[in-house]
Amino acid sequence: MMAYSSISRWSGALGVCAIVVVARPAHAEPRAVVELFTSQGCSSCPPADQIIGELAKDPGVIALSLPIDYWDYLGWKDTLADSRFSARQKAYSRMRGDRDVYTPQAVVNGSKHVIGSDRASIEGAMIETKKADGVMSVPVKMSVSGKQLTVSVEAAKGATATAHGEVWLCSVAKAVPITISRGENRGREVTYHNVVRNLLKVGDWNGSSGSWTVPLENISRDGVDAAVVYVQDGNRDKPGPMLGAAYTSLH
């Protein structure tokens, strides 16, 4: 494992994870989506995992953990890893035109990456990215009724009037404690926060208002107790800035 500034790097192509937007209290329109690419096999990651837990308490931030699988050869196979998260991280790198793929890496609002254990840099990236036209400007709501979840996205206005993108729903486990018995974090217990456990593309968004209904059984799995939805410019292979998002508890 190569180390650089207390982070672990890996070069390659990436894919994308979309998020479902869920309604939070009216006073807390989300200002940022923070995606942490982390690994149980990365000794530099636990401080970043803790920061995601702290950010998850802020109703104005949608903080997500996306465990990657490219460090699984180091002696401990990440029990939460998903190859789709590794692909998403690499897709972000391709869109930026760099080869910066490492752990812990935080991608803020789909457009800026920083070291995931640097809280100040994450906060700065939230402020910086929010200044761009359209970023986190599209209202998104999510509601649960019976056995169905409904996602509603409002029409774009102003700079985003001609925007287009994709709407994704994520199944989330709020807190997952893991005891790691081998590898760089041998003997540690780490709690991972807002771990994405499943991904579902809800639909395409062309700037007009839209609504989609998803059976809860399509996103349910063991440990899932929340959902996130996001509208993101571009597509899975070419992810752009986050246009809107929401989070809701399911239990």
Provide the pLDDT for residue 65. Answer: 98
Provide the pLDDT for residue 220. Answer: 87
Task: Name the percent of the chain in helix, strand, coil, to the closest 5.
Answer: 20, 40, 40
Find the helix or strand (DSSP H, E) in which 37 lies: strand 32-38
List the structure tokens of 158: 């102003």
Domain of residue 205, residue span: 3-249
Per-residue buried b or exposed e for 55-77, using 16+ beta carbons within 10 Å of the residue's own CB = bbeeeebbbbbbbbbbbeebebe
Collect all residues with Cβ–Cβ distance below 8 Å to 12 and sequence separation of at least 6. 70, 86, 90, 101
Provide the pLDDT for residue 163. Answer: 75
Provide the pLDDT for residue 8. Answer: 57
Provide the pLDDT for residue 230. Answer: 98
Of 168, 143, 142, the residue nearest 230 (C-alpha) = 168
Taking the model in full, what pTM does it have?
Answer: 0.89
Provide the pLDDT for residue 29. Answer: 81
Phi, psi of 170 (to 5 degrees): -115, 130
Q: Cα(23)–Cα(246) distance, rounded to whole angstroms?
A: 5
Number of folded domains in the chain? 1
Find the helix or strand (DSSP H, E) in which 3 lies: strand 3-4
The CA-based dihedral angle spanning residues 188, 189, 195, 197, taken in that order and rounded to the nearest 10 degrees: 90
What is the domain-level CATH number for residue 139?
A: 2.60.40.10
Provide the pLDDT for residue 160. Answer: 64
Alpha-carbon distance values, 161 to 138, 170, 171, 211 (Å): 10, 26, 29, 18
Q: Which residues of the chain have pLDDT under 50?
A: 1-6, 11-27
Collect all residues with Cβ–Cβ distance below 8 Å to 167 and sequence separation of at least 6. 18, 20, 21, 151, 153, 201, 202, 203, 204, 205, 210, 212, 229, 230, 231
Provide the pLDDT for residue 28. Answer: 55
